[in-house]
Amino acid sequence: MARQSDEAFFWMLFSAGGVIAAILIPVHLFLFGLAFPLGWLPAPDYERLMSLVHMPLVRVYLFVFCSLPLFHWAHRFRYTLYDGLKVKHLNEVIFALCYGGAVAGTVLAAYLTWTIA
C-alpha cells in the first residue's frame, strides 16, 4: 500500500491560520492599537480583561489566535523557500525548521494560555 501524504493536514492548518490572520488579527490591532489608546472606544480595565481571560472558552480562543497563524507562516515560508527561492535540496531541513518553529510556538502559546494567573 502506498503511504498517504500528510500534505492535506498542513494545507488545512495553512488555510485556518490564514483566516485568523486575515480577519481576527486586524480587529485586535484596530481595537488595542488605535481605538482604545486614542479614546474612540472606552478601554476595558485590567480586571475586566483578566476576568475574561479566566474563562475556558476565551483561553481556547487565545490559543487558536496565537497558534494557527504560526502554521500559516510556516507553510507560506516553507513554500517561499522551496518554490520561490528554489532551495529544493534543503526541503527536509526547511520542513523541520518551519513546522518545528510553529510547533514550538504552539507549545509556548498553550503553556502561557493555560498558566495565566
Q: What pTM was estimated for this model as a whole?
A: 0.83
Half-sphere exposure of 93 (CA within 13 A, CB side): 5
* In-domain check, residue 3: no
Residue 1 has pLDDT above 90, yes or no: no
What's the CATH code of the domain at 22? 1.20.1300.10
84 vs 1, more confident: 84
- pLDDT band with cut points at 50, 70 and 90 for residue 117: low
Determine, yes or no, domain membership for 2.
Answer: no
What mean pLDDT is predicted for residues 28-40? 95
Number of domains in the chain: 1
Q: Which domain, by its residues, includes 60?
A: 10-114
Assigned domain for 1 exists: no
Alpha helices in 1-117 (DSSP H): 7-19, 25-30, 46-53, 56-79, 91-114
Q: Is residue 106 part of a domain?
A: yes
- Rounded Cα–Cα distance for residues 76 and 22 (Å): 14
The three three-digit cell numbers of residue 1, written as one number: 500500500
